[in-house]
Amino acid sequence: MTQNTILPSLGVAVGTSSHIPIHTIDSSCHTQRGFDSRGCFGTNCHDACCQYGADVDLASYALIKQHASSIGEIVHSSFDAWFESSPVALSSDFLGGGSVRSRVGNDGYCVFHIPDGKGCALYQLAFSGIDKEIVPSICRLYPLSWDDGVLRAATHLESTCNCVADPGTLNSDEFGPRRSILETQIEDVKAIFQFDKLYTIVEPRRKEKVVGVV
């Protein structure tokens, strides 16, 4: 049985339950620039990453269903219009053990995007105090991605994204020091993933070291 251990450099809990298992952190997580001090909502990115449906964790789906009335008031539609009719995709890559796909609305954005506004109805509810798990993991962690236990930076970033920069650069700019995407997303990383095997973690701008779990 894996002990509940803390990785020293990031403070990540190891061996906890109700998390997505990760065994490898790809080096791109440390070289891809993260958000600057404006974050996502403080930039004019036109919500480019919301122009697709999302793979919604079953845990998020349950909260969306629970708060459907509040969401409907924001997006001006009802629960039965929000998800694809395809079967549930069962996978340990999602909280709750599977996912369903959200639809794209007539405006070309995910159905949870705020009409004629910025951001998402699910984030709006999370900011108001509802469990942040209502926001799908893929949305909370963008542009981090994962598959079969490997966490990496997304291979494609929208050109207007706050994180876009020359590959491998973590320079300061007028909005302050730039940190890696793993650093800027670390709170959600800790909330969503568990790390339960030996893997290599590269600390930003430091030498590589191996972290073992007993």
Torsion of CA 35, 48, 131, 184, to 10 degrees: -10
Say whether 152 sits in a helix, a strand or coil. strand
Domain residue limits, the chain: 1-34+146-214, 44-142
- Mean pLDDT value across residues 121-139: 94
- Partners of 116 in the β-ladder: none
Residue 199 identity (one-letter amino acid): Y
Q: What percent of the chain has pLDDT over 70?
A: 75
C-alpha span between 34 and 97 (Å, rounded): 28
Sequence-separated (6 or more) residues with CB below 8 Å from residue 101: 53, 54, 55, 56, 83, 84, 86, 89
Q: Which helix (H) or strand (E) holds 127?
A: helix 121-127
C-alpha span between 93 and 56 (Å, rounded): 11
Residue that is written with structure tokens 């959600």 in the block: 188
Band of residue 214 on the pLDDT scale cut at 50, 70, 90: very low
Q: Given this model, what pLDDT does residue 196 score?
A: 65
Q: Given this model, what pLDDT does residue 156 score?
A: 77
Relative to beta strand 144-147, strand 150-153 is antiparallel
Residue-wise pLDDT tens digits, 28-76: 888 888 887 777 766 677 788 888 889 999 999 999 999 999 999 999 9
Residue-wise pLDDT tens digits, 85-109: 887 888 889 999 899 999 999 889 9
| Angle subtended at Cα 188 by Cα 89 and Cα 184, rounded to the nearest 5 degrees | 125
pTM for the whole structure: 0.78
